[in-house]
Amino acid sequence: MKARELISILEQYDDDMDVSVSFSEKEDTPIHITSCDSLQTRCYQNLVELSPEGLLVLNNKNQITYMNPYLVKKLDTQDDALFFKPIHDLISIEDHCLLNKALNNLKVQQVDFVSIPINKESGENFWARISMTKIPSSDGSYRGAILTITDTSERQKLLEKNTSDTLDHKVGRIPDHINQLKQTKSLLLEEKATLESTDLIEATPYWHQEKYLYLIFPKKEGKRVREYIGTKKQKVDEALNAIKRGKRYRKICDELADIDQQLRTATFKLDSFLWELAKLPPNLHKTLN
């Protein structure tokens, strides 16, 4: 599906609409999809087809009606494989409640966002920030949404080491590394807040007679705590999904603690380095000659 077909879809909703779509982490600097005049025939193609971020359009049943080339490639899929499939097919079942909450919020407000992993065709996944903008309608009814999908998994690669750089280059990169850590922390805090809005369970599932599900919680006051869930599929699925989210939540908390420790260690080492530099004689360059 090409951008001109996206134009046709959008024009079915409102001929002269102006939809704000954020292509950056800054919500205050959106790019606008507007009508193109005869002198701007490529404006949609440049914005949508060549965008370095994912973009898709949902109809009022939350089915995918458009996906730009970047996202098609990112998902390792075919351009029509997900056509009219529910967006829920892109995420794991334990995250459906997070997505549903954001989509329900969108029906009563103009924008919303959620941070969740998105599954690729290969079975791999990547963390993404999904920004949602409701498609406007004259009668106020929900007619679908435009979503931008930003890959945030690159935070794991932010602090690559390069031992061949000179000292001045390494010192010059310090502000960038600190900013990268702060950005990573901000993304993790966003994911943490999203998970905190759902049910989280810290327990180990135990199947009695391979039929009855129990949850074994950490010991409390030396006593083992056990909760009976049963065999009903809905209750079992809810419990198991809450356990998965709980594991992700603990992992995020560990990553946040690690970042704080990195910042504290870096601050201490930098203070020590500056203190050692301060003790060097001011005419050191003459001494070395």
| pLDDT tens, residue by residue, 63-75 | 998 888 889 999 9
pLDDT of residue 114: 87
pLDDT of residue 8: 57
Q: In what order do the strands lie in the sheet with 223-230?
A: 204-208, 212-220, 223-230
88: buried, middle or exposed (CB in 10 Å: 19+, 13-18, 0-12)? middle
Q: How far apart are CA 113 and CA 111, in angstroms?
A: 7
Beta strand segments in the chain, E: 19-21, 31-33, 54-58, 64-67, 111-119, 125-134, 145-151, 204-208, 212-220, 223-230
Extents of the domains making up the chain:
3-151, 157-288
List all residues 6 or more positions away from 230 whose beta carbon is below 8 Å from its beta carbon. Answer: 212, 213, 236
pLDDT-derived band at 154 (thresholds 50, 70, 90) equals low
Quote the pTM value. 0.61
pLDDT of residue 89: 94
Query: Residue 156: pLDDT above 70?
Result: no
- The enclosing H or E element of 270 equals helix 233-278
CB-based contact 213:236 (threshold 8 Å): yes
Tell me how far CA of residue 140 lies from CA of 57, 65, 137, 266, in angstroms: 18, 21, 5, 52
pLDDT-derived band at 38 (thresholds 50, 70, 90) equals very low
CATH topology of domain 3-151: Beta-Lactamase (3.30.450)
Residue 63 DSSP class: B
